[in-house]
Amino acid sequence: MKIDTKVIAHRGSKGTRPENTLVSFQAALNDGADGIETDVHFSKDHQLIIMHDETVDRTTNGHGLIYEKNLAEIKHLDAGMRFSEEFKGTQVPTLQEVVQLLIDNQFAGIFNLELKTNKIQYPGIEQAVDEYFSSIHYPFQLIYSSFNARSLEILTNIDPQAYRAKLFKTAAKQAKGLKRSRFIEDFHPDIRWVKRHPYFASAKHLRPWTVNTTEDMQYCFKKNMAAIITDFPARAVQLRAEMRGE
């Protein structure tokens, strides 16, 4: 079976490692993931922090909002112990540290960076991220995504060549409007929504999340979607190989 669908690791190998940490991203690379997905916030001192939630409570031993803490405070947090004692002492990474890991691994796949501006705006974060990537050479394909349409519009104005995708659970009409207006290239919808709306868009423009069950992986692979975003990249890579007859 011809399957070109890429496997993008959601917050790294989130199902097997503490999410959004260097050990999680390295595990995903070791598993053969074609892409890495992660999330970025601003700290109090405007450092680019990699974490999913707006607060540090769920994934670390700390409490409070990211934007109320400076980088030094965040680096003192333990981002591994809530997942397992095995990963006690794991730090919260910065965007720069994640990118350096990818460069060190000579990673040439997809790096999907979600701007977490749908709940907290983080004024200036789009400019900061663009300036950072403009200042370095990197081997991977950079894709920006966000639930916040305004962030995607800001990115378009900053760099019209930036590759952008709209995340959504149900707001398909807004996503279609953004594509018509050329603010985005692709759609990153909830897999549950995709299965209820199978004719929403061409498979080559879809990277659904979070595709974790064998059934959902098979569904996406059979439709030859652009990519899947999964917590279990090793499982997805293996299943894809089996379906290809490799």
Global model pTM greater than 0.95: yes
CB of 124 within 8 A of CB of 140? no
Pairing mode, strands 163-168 and 186-189: parallel
Return the structure tokens found at 177.
């409007």
What domains does the chain contain, in order, with CATH numbers?
Answer: 6-38+107-244 (3.20.20.190)
Please tell me which residue in 10, 41, 137, 197 is annotated as part of the active site.
Answer: 10
pLDDT at 54: 98
Helix H or strand E encompassing 174: helix 172-180
Q: Tell me the C-alpha distance between 149 and 157, whole Å.
A: 13
Chain segment 209-231, per-residue pLDDT in tens: 999 999 999 999 999 999 999 99
Active site residue 52: yes
Average pLDDT value over all residues in the chain = 98
In sequence order, the β-bridge partners of residue 50 are 40
Chain segment 55-83, per-residue pLDDT in tens: 999 999 999 999 999 999 999 999 999 99
Chain segment 101-159, per-residue pLDDT in tens: 999 999 999 999 999 999 999 999 999 999 999 999 999 999 999 999 999 999 999 99
Please tell me which residue in 52, 137, 197, 205 is annotated as part of the active site.
Answer: 52
Active site residue 10: yes
